[in-house]
Chain A
Amino acid sequence: MIRFALSRLAQVLFTIWAITVLVFALSHATGSPLDTLLPDDATPEQIAALTSRLGLDQPYHIQYLRFLGSALQGDFGDSLRWRGEPALGLVLDRLPATLSLGGLAVLISLAVALPLGVVAATRKDSWIDLLARAIALLGQAIPAFWLGIVLIWVFAVWLQWLPTSGQGGLRHMILPAIAIAWFQIAALVRLTRSAMLDVLDTEYVKLARIKGLAESRVVWKHAFVNAASVPLTYFGILAGSVLTGSIVVETVFSWPGTGWLAIEAIRGRDFPVIQAVVLFFAVIFLAANYLVDLLYAWLDPRVRHG
């Protein structure tokens, strides 16, 4: 188990390193940051001074090592758009808003998708199974940003039950959380349903039935616990889709989180902030997947010895 954990950790660190190279290469592939930092009529002396201060006269590998060194200390430089603010500080300030929204979205998707998937599998071809399959199909076909706009139109503009956008309390979080959860519900329902169908067909579930156990006990105690490892693998992907969803949905609902910050930074060509967001998101995503891998290996010995 420990060997498995360490070798996976090495892979994660290697991937993070690869991402730092990618981020560094991209930010240098597009002309020098001097154009955005200096006015058009800057004198040659000003240009030379800033070039040497930022270390842009050094060879690329030295520049990369300097970038890596400061990034490891959490220093991505100051934001260009929000003058004087450190880039990582901006990201961390916005993080709680994103995490609370993402957390609510994950709760909603689990609360809806797991029961629906289990019931759909136990009553195959009933109306509830048809509903589950319809949701799974529609979930892949509806773009999250459009769903967000339609939700605003129906629940905020037409019915006037909930606010259209902005931050403040649970009422503001319901619509954006549903917009993020929608895609996850579709995927989780599909996975849970097919995993349950497989498990319900096994010998030990038949034995439990022959023993005369109550059907609810057979389904939830014997079948679901064994089927649950399949949706569990999906949790790593879930972390990714929460991050992706946050960027799109926060923009639609003007929710002041990290995703919205990222879009604002792109519009303002704010390299330091984008670098901080990309690396920060990558670390969160990889850490979530690492934990899922460990949990999975712990539950299923075949994984850690395979």
Chain B
Amino acid sequence: MASIAPPLAPRKARRAARRRRPPIIPLALLLVVLIVPALAADLIAPHDPYQSHLRNRLQPPAFWGGSWEFPLGTDRLGRCMLSRILHGAWYALSISMVGIAIGAALGSAMGLIAGYARGLTDVVLMRLADISFALPAVLLVLALGVAWGPSLQAVLIVVAFVLWAQFARQVRGEVLSLRERDFVARARVAGAGHLRILLRHILPNVFNTIVVMATLQIGVIIILEATLSFLGIGIPRPAPTWGLLIADGRQFITSAWWISFFPGLAILLVVLSINLLGDWLRDRLDPRLRQI
């Protein structure tokens, strides 16, 4: 009985082994470009990100004929681009984390309630989710942008709005089948209340799904925040968010390409790494989410 499963072809086996290994390069990139700068920009940045060096305006990067004093060059006020990008990491990390936390918590709670209560509650909540899906986020951005101007709250509301319906749908679908399982019926016989059944018996079973979805959405949110800040309707100045840095470099595209280029490269590396990490996490924890 030892060999019921046919042995994997060597090539397939190698690929399966590769899938099980944590993705080292994306993890390292994330640490270097996002996490360490976000937590310790003050310690590692060579300059104050707001300090202008007027005699060193628009200096090219070190490898492009500039000096090592400003490794990635300077902007129109002579501010050190490397220091500004390092300080910008904090905004990318904190806004995506807080935004995901709000959106995932709200959406998962709605999904748990809808799937568990069924009936009218379910219909109303899912219709609301349909409306959220039907509305492109950018419309809400426009409306909020003109109503409040650039602000942290507006960004977080847009992020939560973009996310909640996806979490709600996925979690609801799983709760619908979980609530029919024996362990829920037994918990009810043992005298557990609805809240206890939801939080202690059902939530742990959908938790992997929530974690995988949240990871796969971080990249989307980082790009959304950068886009809002680029358009001037995200995090207000003078915070050196990556989107704002790219916007500031736009008018110098003919003379000083590095101002816009490196913040965008940081976004690219971070989002790519997070997505690779999310794919790996999905294959480990919840392969059913493949189609997302």
Contacts and interface: CB of A to CB of B under 8 A. Distances in A.
A266 B142 contact: yes
Contact of A137 (B231, B233, B249, B272): B272
Contact of A247 (B231, B253, B261): B231
A285 interface: yes
B264 A149 contact: yes
A248 B230 CA distance: 9
A291 interface: no
A30 B271 CA distance: 35
Given A244-B138, A265-B146, A143 B267 contact: yes
Contacts of B261: 149-150, 153
Contact of B135 (A137, A142, A143, A282): A282
For B138, B233, B257, B260, which residue has the most chain A Cβ atoms within 10 angstroms?
Answer: B138
Interface in B130-163: 130-131, 134-140, 142-149
B227 interface: yes
Contact of B271 (A140, A269, A281): A140
Contacts of B243: 143, 145
A248 B136 contact: no
B250 interface: yes
A26 B139 contact: no
Given A19-B139, A23-B143, A289-B134, A141 B268 contact: yes
A143 B143 contact: no
Contacts of A303: none
A293 to B, nearest CB: 11
Given A27-B147, A248-B230, A137 B267 contact: no
Nearest to A245: B138
A15 B131 contact: yes
Contacts of B139: 19, 278, 281-282
Contact of A244 (B136, B144, B147, B257): B136
A160 B231 CA distance: 26
Nearest to A289: B134
A188 interface: no
Contact of A266 (B233, B254, B257, B267): B233
B89 interface: no
Interface string A228-255: 0000000000001001100110011000
Identify whether the interface residues of A are mostly helix, strand, loop, or mixed: helix
A244 B227 CA distance: 10
Interface residues of A, number: 49
Contacts of B276: 137
B88 interface: no
B260 A143 contact: no
For A26, A29, A146, A252, which residue has the most chain B Cβ atoms within 10 angstroms?
Answer: A146
For A12, A153, A278, A282, which residue has the most chain B Cβ atoms within 10 angstroms?
Answer: A278
B60 to A, nearest CB: 14
Contacts of A138: 268, 272
A141 B130 contact: no
A12 B135 CA distance: 11
A188 to B, nearest CB: 15
Contacts of B250: 149, 252
Contact of B219 (A140, A145, A244): A140
Contacts of B134: 12, 15, 285-286, 289
Contacts of A248: 227, 230-231
B66 interface: no
Contacts of B226: 143, 146
A48 interface: no
For A153, A240, A266, A286, which residue has the most chain B Cβ atoms within 10 angstroms?
Answer: A266
Contacts of A281: 136, 138-139
Contacts of A22: 140, 143
A18 interface: yes
Nearest to A154: B257
A263 B228 CA distance: 11
A80 to B, nearest CB: 11
A157 interface: yes
A146 B136 contact: no
B148 A30 contact: yes
B267 A146 contact: yes
B246 interface: yes
Contacts of A247: 138, 142, 231
A18 B126 CA distance: 15
A145 B143 contact: no
A248 B228 CA distance: 9
A142 B230 contact: no
A274 interface: yes
Contacts of B253: 149, 152-153, 157, 164
20 contacts: A26-B143, A30-B148, A137-B275, A138-B272, A141-B223, A143-B264, A145-B246, A146-B226, A150-B260, A150-B261, A150-B264, A164-B253, A164-B254, A243-B138, A248-B230, A252-B250, A266-B142, A266-B145, A271-B146, A278-B139
Given A144-B227, A157-B253, A247-B142, 9 more contacts: A11-B130, A19-B135, A30-B148, A137-B276, A141-B271, A143-B230, A146-B246, A149-B250, A244-B138
Interface of A: 11-12, 15, 18-19, 22-23, 26-27, 29-30, 137-138, 140-146, 149-150, 152-153, 157, 164, 240, 243-244, 247-248, 251-252, 262-263, 265-267, 269-271, 274, 277-278, 281-282, 285-286, 289
Which 4 A-B pairs rank lowest in CB-CB distance, beginning with the nearest?
A: A146-B264, A141-B271, A141-B272, A30-B147
